[in-house]
Amino acid sequence: MIILAIDTSCDDTSIAVVEIKNKKMKVLSNIISSQEKIHKKYGGVYPTMAKREHEKNLALVLEKALKKAGMLIKPKVNAIAVTNGPGLDPCLWTGVNFAKALSYDWNLPIIPVNHIEGHILANLLPQIGSNFQFSIFNFQKNLPAICLVVSGGHTQLILMKKIGKYKILGETRDDAAGECFDKTARILGLGYPGGPAIAEQDQQWKSKINSKLKINLPRPMIYSKDYDFSFSGLKTAVLYDYKKRSPKIRKSKKYIQAMCAEIQQAVIDVLIKKTIKAAKDYRVKTIMLGGGVVANLELRKQFQDKIQEHTNFKFHVPSFKFCTDNAAMIGITAYFHRAETKQRKNIIVDANLRI
């Protein structure tokens, strides 16, 4: 089966072609057109501007995705998959309407996909740089799993009993982890997206063994008995610390680097503690991560070390290029929902769709 998948949930326009044969899958193309440069100067994503960019980009991205998959002349696609939520409402509608037009033109069914499930099933996509085709059978042997989805819009702990069967155990009560990185980076004048900018400052800080300045930030809700998170207090703590420093200190490399190292560590500490607690409480086999924040090297490393040292859980992370938004993850998710195609007129957007 060959699926053409579309994701326009936030600020990336992505179209992928994935092939599933004999229970193995292959990503034939996965084109992402980033709007990073456009939103950088505002320190966040503007939905109407993002929508306009999606409208400009979709046809070009489609052409590139088909060309890369070797089917520009005659697309051999069996179904169209599209993210219909959660995400930014105007952006989602742009992708959904594009999918409807394609489905009409090519006479193909549409499979609506939940973006969060996409981030989880990104774990099924092949690792970078190998021709390895992941087996769905091997994946299913590792369930049940606790999945931590951490992105710009979400921070959720989800119990996955099997593919398609999920329960949200906890989530953020205010800001998502990625949102916390984006907002604190903005306070520090580092631009958008904040996660990679903060990670870069942290790296520079770690490379300097001397000249340490220690900043202490809170680890919100780290010992709470539930599986919820809260990151807005962390952002406020950063703002207070920043405001009490002199203009000279605030602008210094030393301060920015020390602050970024502490912000990143505070977020990592909370995410690891709560995820391992959920995995123990629910006696699962595997801990699985997904979402843009999982592109963070330190987060991946510290999770891996903690799990290996203190537990027997298996550990799964998507390869880097499948952590941030991409349509390949929507394509593979659609495969598991291939029986749930809907009539074009019944496919609607739900910006707050729950898994």
d(CA 292, CA 192): 13
Closest CB to Zn ion among residues 123, 257: 123
Contact criterion met (CB below 8 Å) for 17 and 331 = yes
DSSP code at position 88: -
Lay out the site mask for ligand KG4 across 163-202 (x = CB under 6 A, - = otherwise).
---------------x--xx----------xxxx--x---
The answer to whether 331 contacts ligand KG4 (rule: CB under 6 A) is no
d(CA 340, CA 336): 9
d(CA 141, CA 178): 30
The answer to whether 156 contacts ligand KG4 (rule: CB under 6 A) is no
The answer to whether 35 contacts ligand KG4 (rule: CB under 6 A) is no
178 interface partner picked from Zn ion, ligand KG4, none, CB below 5 to 8 A per type: ligand KG4
d(CA 116, CA 159): 13
Give residues 99-138 in contact with Zn ion (rule: CB under 5 A).
Answer: none
Name the 3-class secondary structure at 134: coil
Single-letter code of the amino acid located at 299? L
The answer to whether 151 contacts Zn ion (rule: CB under 5 A) is yes
Element (DSSP H or E) covering residue 203? helix 194-207
The answer to whether 117 contacts ligand KG4 (rule: CB under 6 A) is no
Q: How far is the CB of 153 from ligand KG4 (least distance, A)?
A: 4
The answer to whether 318 contacts ligand KG4 (rule: CB under 6 A) is no
The answer to whether 12 contacts Zn ion (rule: CB under 5 A) is no
Count Cβ atoms below 10 Å from residue 155 Cβ, excluding itself: 30
Which parts of this chain interact with Zn ion (CB under 5 A)?
151, 325
Which parts of this chain interact with ligand KG4 (CB under 6 A)?
10, 151-153, 178, 181-182, 193-196, 199, 291-293, 295-296, 324-325
